[in-house]
Amino acid sequence: MDKPVLKCAIVDDSALQRLSIVRLIQNHQSLKLVAEYNNAIEANSDLSEREVDLIFLDIEMPILSGFDLLDNLSSRPQIIFVTGKTKYAFKAFNYDAIDYLKKPISKERFFNAVYKAVSYFKMKNEEGFDDEDFIFVKSNLKKRKVFLSELKYVEALGDYIKIITENDSLIVLSTMKSFETVLPKERFLRIHKSYIVNLSKVLRYNSKFVEIKQQQLPLSRNRKPELAEALNNFIIH
């Protein structure tokens, strides 16, 4: 399947901040900038007539805030909030925001946020998953079906591995090297000698850890460039 390209807009009253986001968008193969607004009032009137998949949205703006803009939109696209303050984070997620980026934005955090947006876009626009989007494993003498879309990460446990899914965990007799060959390379990455992660589940990462939901997994230093490249490629089955 071809990589999706999300039509995106920027709403921010800071010219410098808009320029910063424009440059990040232009350097990203999965984004296409279709609109740029220096206030929410202008955005409110134009976005009702324009098809947009993703908005990079500031919160504190004159007269009409970012939250006010969203309240006025009849059809709400995906939202990545971009703001200088963290105090709005809780409220932001009441709007089902994809992410909340604090200014100044690093390229790494920007790409992480966009990765989640593209992942959601693909899941929303595909007709479910393929019938073969699962693997069988043997756990506790039983054959178990594991859906790849639900698999969060795999952890090494000596001669065994522990498979962590959205709703369960399974102990399987296997080496990491062997199990790694079963997983599609475009969707899973070994980030450490003891961990393989589902790229679509990665929320953020730094030089030492990868965060998946509320868990931090160790990231090998030599694996960080590979992880950054994998997330940037946005190849999700």
CATH classification at residue 160? 2.40.50.1020
Helix (H) or strand (E) holding 26: helix 15-26
Q: Residue 218's domain spans which residues?
A: 134-233
Placement of tokens 């984004």 in the chain: 31
Task: Identify the weakest region by mean pLDDT among 77-86, 106-115, 132-141, 201-210.
Answer: 132-141
Distances (CA, A) of 135 to 11, 131, 148: 43, 11, 7
pLDDT at 1 over 50: no
22 and 114 inside one domain: yes
Residue 179 within a domain: yes
Residue 207 within a domain: yes
Q: Are 205 and 211 in contact (CB under 8 A)?
A: yes
48 and 103 inside one domain: yes
Q: What is the pTM of this model?
A: 0.58
147 and 229 inside one domain: yes
Q: What is the mean pLDDT of residues 190-218?
A: 92
User: Pairing between strand 195-198 and 188-192?
Assistant: antiparallel
Q: What is the pLDDT of residue 127?
A: 42
pLDDT at 2 over 60: no
CA–CA dist 192, 97 (Å, integer): 30
Q: How many domains does the chain have?
A: 2
Residue 236's nearest CA partner among 111, 101, 133, 131 is: 133
Q: What is the pLDDT of residue 121?
A: 84
pLDDT at 166 over 90: no
Q: What is the pLDDT of residue 196?
A: 97
13 and 119 inside one domain: yes
Domain end point (choices 102, 125, 148) = 125
166 and 118 inside one domain: no
CA–CA dist 197, 117 (Å, integer): 18
113 and 161 inside one domain: no
110 and 153 inside one domain: no
Model pLDDT for residues 48-93, shown as the tens digit of each residue:
889 999 999 999 999 999 999 999 988 889 999 999 888 888 888 7
Angle, helices 107-125/224-233, rounded to nearest 10 degrees? 40
Domain end point (choices 98, 125, 152) = 125
73 and 150 inside one domain: no
59 and 121 inside one domain: yes
147 and 221 inside one domain: yes
Burial class (CB in 10 A: 0-12, 13-18, 19+), 127: exposed
Q: Are 109 and 211 in contact (CB under 8 A)?
A: no
Residue 3 confidence class, pLDDT cut points 50, 70, 90:
low
Q: What is the mean pLDDT of residues 91-109?
A: 87
